[in-house]
Amino acid sequence: MATMYNITIKEINKNELTTEVTFIHPDAGEMIGSKDFALQIICYTSIDLNWKELVTSKEEWKNLIENHPQKDKLAELNGYLFGKRIYIEEEEYKSISIENNDELKRNLERKYQTRFDSFGAENGAYYILSKMNVADFTDEEESIILNEPQVTDSGSNTKILKFSVSDASLLAHIKSGMSYDTAAFSIVDYYF
C-alpha cells in the first residue's frame, strides 16, 4: 500500500491531540476528519514504525509502550486494525502450507472464528494472521474519540487535525514532534 500522508504530532494538551497532516501522495484523500482516522493515529504511534522523527530514543519509546497504562487496549485496537497472530498447531500449519486448499482454510477460519490472509512460522511457533476487523475497530472509535475531529487548512498540502479522547492515558506514548509516514485512510468512508 502506498504512503499517503505524513503525520507530525504538534501538541498534546491533556486529552486533546493536535497533528499536522501533510498530503504526500497524489491519491491521498481529503477525508482525514473521521473518528477512525484519528484513532489510527493513536494505533500507528504505538507500533514500531519507520519514524521520520521520534524525539526520544528508540529504547525510551519501547519502554513507553511496554509500560503503557492502556497497553492491553492498544493491543486490542491494533489487532482490529492490523490483524493479529493466532497461534495454531503444527499439523494445521503443515496442512495449509502444503496443500493450499480452500476447504482446509475455511475449516481453520471456523475453528479460530476469524478470517485470515496469511500464515507463518517463527521460532517453532505456527500462526495465522487475521484480517483487519473493520466493524470492531469502528465500534471502538465511538467510545474513544470524543466528537468529530476538527480539520483546518494549514497550507497547500497540509491540514491541522485536532481531536479529543475519552481517556488521556491513551496518549501516554505520544510526544510532540513525533513524525511518520502512513497509508492510513478513512475506514468508514471506504467500507461503509
Per-residue pLDDT tens over the stretch 105-136? 888 889 988 888 889 999 999 999 888 888 88
Q: Provide the pLDDT for residue 191.
A: 64
Q: Provide the pLDDT for residue 75.
A: 93
Q: What average pLDDT score do residues 181-191 get?
A: 74
Note the helical H segments in 100-133: 102-112
Pairwise pLDDT comparison (51 vs 175), residue with the higher score: 175
pLDDT(69) > 90: yes
pLDDT digits (tens, 9 = 90+) for 73-115: 999 999 999 888 899 999 999 888 776 678 888 888 899 888 8
pLDDT digits (tens, 9 = 90+) for 131-163: 888 888 889 999 999 999 999 998 889 999 999
Q: Provide the pLDDT for residue 190.
A: 66
Q: Provide the pLDDT for residue 168.
A: 97
Q: Provide the percentage of residues in the chain whose pLDDT is more than 70.
A: 95
* No. of helices (H) and no. of strands (E), the chain: 7, 8
pLDDT(1) > 60: no
* Stated pTM of the model: 0.84
Between CA 100 and CA 84 the distance in angstroms is 21
Please, which residues have CB within 8 angstroms of residue 38's CB and are 6 or more apart in sequence?
17, 141, 145, 149, 161, 163
Q: Provide the pLDDT for residue 67.
A: 96
CA nearest neighbour of 170 among 45, 37, 8, 19: 45
User: Which strand ranges, in their side-by-side order, compose the sheet holding 145-153?
Assistant: 145-153, 158-165, 16-23, 5-13, 179-182
Q: What average pLDDT score do residues 28-52 get?
A: 88
H helix or E strand, kind and range, residue 163:
strand 158-165
Burial 13-48 (b: 16+ CB within 10 A, else e): eeeebbbbbbbeeeebeeebbbbbbbbbbbbbbbee
